[in-house]
Amino acid sequence: MTNTVETMLAKQDIRDVLSRYARGVDRADGALLKSCYHADAIEEHGNTYNGPAHAYVDGAIPRMMKMTQPMAHYVCNSHFEFDETGDVAWVETYVLTFARFEDKEGAANDTLTGGRLFDRFERRDGVWKIAHRKMTLDWNRDMTTQEGWCLGLFDPASPDLHMGTRGEKDLTYSRF
């Protein structure tokens, strides 16, 4: 496929949606997440959910807000294929996800997962959004949490250190 100005702009618009999605998940921002999907979009999230994307967001946000441990989603490389109209794109995106969970005994464990998002994006009224998403998991590494903050260089208890959090108290929502 030869890149044109049109396809390069479309790719950037789609990358912006993917970045917004990662930010929305990590900040538990339902409105931001919904802005990534068309109103009739479908989300197939492994064995945990299969149905309307906006309903998936509505169910996920309360669960994410209850999580007190860190979580981060990283968007990596993407592969794009456009249909002949230029209004549909199939996009495969590699993702890395970090999350901390407590095991049955209450001990903190870190999990790092690599996977891919398979999205059908559609441009409707000039706006690219996800119309259908499926995901696949490629690998996972679970390990006991061993957090040292760069051998003590950073102090998470310091009021001068910004620690990521969910919701509007996160630094991402401030303007300075």
Coil vs helix vs strand at 46? coil
Residue 31: pLDDT band (50, 70, 90) is: very high
For 93-117, letters b (16+ CB in 10 Å) and e give bebebebbeeeeeeeeebeebebbb
Q: Which domains does the chain have, with CATH numbers?
A: 5-154+161-173 (3.10.450.50)
CA distance 61 to 23: 13
For 103-154, what is each residue's pLDDT tens digit?
Answer: 889 889 999 999 999 999 999 999 999 999 999 999 999 999 988 888 889 9
For 63-88, what is each residue's pLDDT tens digit?
Answer: 999 888 889 999 999 999 999 999 99
Average pLDDT, the chain: 94
